[in-house]
Amino acid sequence: MELRSFRGGVHPDPSKDRTASSHIQVAPLPGRVVIPLAQGGAPCEPLVKKGDSVLAGQKIGESQSFVSAPVHASVSGKVVGIETR
């Protein structure tokens, strides 16, 4: 199979003039976060239950299917529910 590319590539503006004097800002965390256990491929089974505390980066869902990837918590907090939406 031939590897194809596109001519010219991507050349973003190297200038940082518009942002050089800007300060980094911390975004506030939302009060509630919904993390889907179906993110492409086979849906995951939850590894946590209501009331569990989780840490950012912790694996919270997993599937044994061939085409799947585990789901990790994007923020730390407490699981308030697991439901179908």
pLDDT digits 0-9 by tens, 27-78:
998 999 999 999 888 999 999 999 999 999 999 999 999 889 999 999 999 9
Domain count for the chain, please give it.
1
Residue 70 lies in a domain: yes
Residue 29 lies in a domain: no
Residue 66 lies in a domain: yes
Q: Does the structure show a pLDDT above 80 at 3? A: no
Residue 57 lies in a domain: yes
Residue 72 lies in a domain: yes
For the entire predicted model, the pTM comes to: 0.70
Q: What is the pLDDT of residue 52?
A: 98
Euclidean distance between the first and the last CA atom of the chain, given in angstroms as a whole number: 41
Report the alpha-carbon distance of residue 56 to residue 59 in Å, rounded: 9
Tokens encoding 74: 């994007």
Long-range interactions of 26-33: CB distance < 8 A, separation 24+:
29/75, 32/80, 33/74, 33/75, 33/77
Report the alpha-carbon distance of residue 52 to residue 69 in Å, rounded: 22
Residue 64 lies in a domain: yes
